[in-house]
């Protein structure tokens, strides 16, 4: 089974492209979703976090107060190290589990992650597929989707890997600065070639 990493900056169209592969029957796992799932109420990771930081890290409904946790780890690097030490292996194990679905007949799956190349998540994948748009399109689309200001979006983009560097690591690129129907056709063509290459 080939695990193909699907990455791109914020608003480049990763989720959009992943859904298009999904409509062709390709299984995909979103690393951001998994990072949220492992700290849902009832999980061992959330219990460990509440033990460590105290119950005030939980909201009234028992879910994680992400804003509070973000603030703590922003101000205290040693707490960030502790948190990453806890979550990193748990997320990795859960990613591996979800990337190997039962009764799956296709020769490849997708790991969708904005930080594929910035983290050791790239060790989980054999190939890298980059969704690419010019930075200005990335800014416009992200502002259209989220209620963030241009300044906020530009700050997030500045903290991510630069476009050229990401493209240099790509085995394949999807140009998402095109109408969705054109992108869907590109996805179908790539899928065909992956079925042959990985089959
Ligand atoms: P990501 O998952 O990389 O952050 P999304 O897939 O959520 O990006 O896309 C960002 C926004 O741009 C969404 O609102 C999406 O509907 C829109 N979008 C994605 N691809 C296209 C496209 N080819 N044309 C127009 N809008 C697009």
Query: Could you tell me if 129 and 109 lie in one domain?
Result: yes
Cβ(163)–Cβ(9) below 8 Å? yes
Query: Could you tell me if 133 and 53 lie in one domain?
Result: no
pLDDT at res. 147: 87
Query: Could you tell me if 17 and 50 lie in one domain?
Result: no
Query: Could you tell me if 85 and 18 lie in one domain?
Result: no
5, 6, 9, 11: residue to mutate for ligand 1 pocket, most atoms within 8 A of CB? 11
Query: Could you tell me if 16 and 52 lie in one domain?
Result: no
Mean pLDDT of 22-50: 98
Q: How many domains does the chain have?
A: 2
pLDDT at 48 over 90: yes
Tell me, in angstroms, the distance from the centre of ligand 1 to residue 12's CA. Answer: 6
**How far is residue 22 CA from its own chain's centroid?**
15
Query: Could you tell me if 21 and 119 lie in one domain?
Result: yes
Tell me, in angstroms, the distance from the centre of ligand 1 to residue 133's CA. Answer: 10
Query: Could you tell me if 93 and 109 lie in one domain?
Result: no
User: Taking CB atoms and a 6 Å cutoff, what residues make up the pocket around ligand 1?
Assistant: 8, 10-16, 141, 144-145, 176, 178, 180, 183
Average model confidence (pLDDT) for the chain? 97
Residue-number span of the structural domain to which 61 is assigned: 33-98
Residues 6 or more apart whose CB falls under 8 angstroms from that of 154 comprise: 139
Ligand 1 atom with minimal separation from the 183 CA: 23
Query: Could you tell me if 84 and 172 lie in one domain?
Result: no
Nearest C-alpha neighbor of 99 from the set 191, 166, 33: 33
pLDDT at res. 79: 97
**Residue tagged 């990795």 (tokens):** 92
pLDDT at 72 over 90: yes
Query: Could you tell me if 83 and 117 lie in one domain?
Result: no
Q: How many CA atoms lie within 13 A of 195 on its CB side?
A: 12
Give the end of a domain, one of 73, 98, 123.
98
Tell me, in angstroms, the distance from the centre of ligand 1 to residue 177's CA. Answer: 10
Give the end of a domain, one of 98, 125, 148.
98
29, 114, 117, 145: residue to mutate for ligand 1 pocket, most atoms within 8 A of CB? 145
């Amino acid at each position: 089974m080939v695990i193909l990493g699907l990455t791109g900056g914020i608003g480049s169209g990763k989720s959009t492209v992943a859904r298009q592969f999904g409509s062709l029957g390709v299984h995909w796992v979103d690393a951001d979703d998994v990072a949220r799932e492992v700290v849902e109420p009832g999980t061992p990771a959330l219990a460990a976090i509440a033990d460590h930081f105290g119950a005030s890290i939980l909201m009234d409904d028992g879910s994680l107060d992400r804003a509070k946790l973000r603030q703590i780890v922003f101000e205290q690097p040693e707490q960030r190290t502790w948190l990453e030490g806890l979550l990193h292996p748990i997320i990795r194990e859960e990613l591996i589990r979800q990337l190997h679905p039962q009764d799956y007949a296709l020769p490849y799956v997708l790991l969708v992650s904005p930080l594929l190349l910035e983290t050791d998540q790239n060790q989980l994948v054999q190939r890298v597929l980059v969704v690419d748009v010019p930075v200005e399109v990335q800014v416009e689309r992200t502002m259209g989707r989220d209620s963030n200001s241009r300044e906020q979006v530009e700050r997030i983009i500045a903290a991510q890997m630069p476009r050229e560097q990401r493209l240099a690591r790509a085995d394949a690129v999807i140009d998402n600065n095109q109408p969705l129907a054109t992108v869907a056709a590109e996805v179908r063509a790539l899928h065909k070639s992956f079925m042959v290459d990985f089959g």
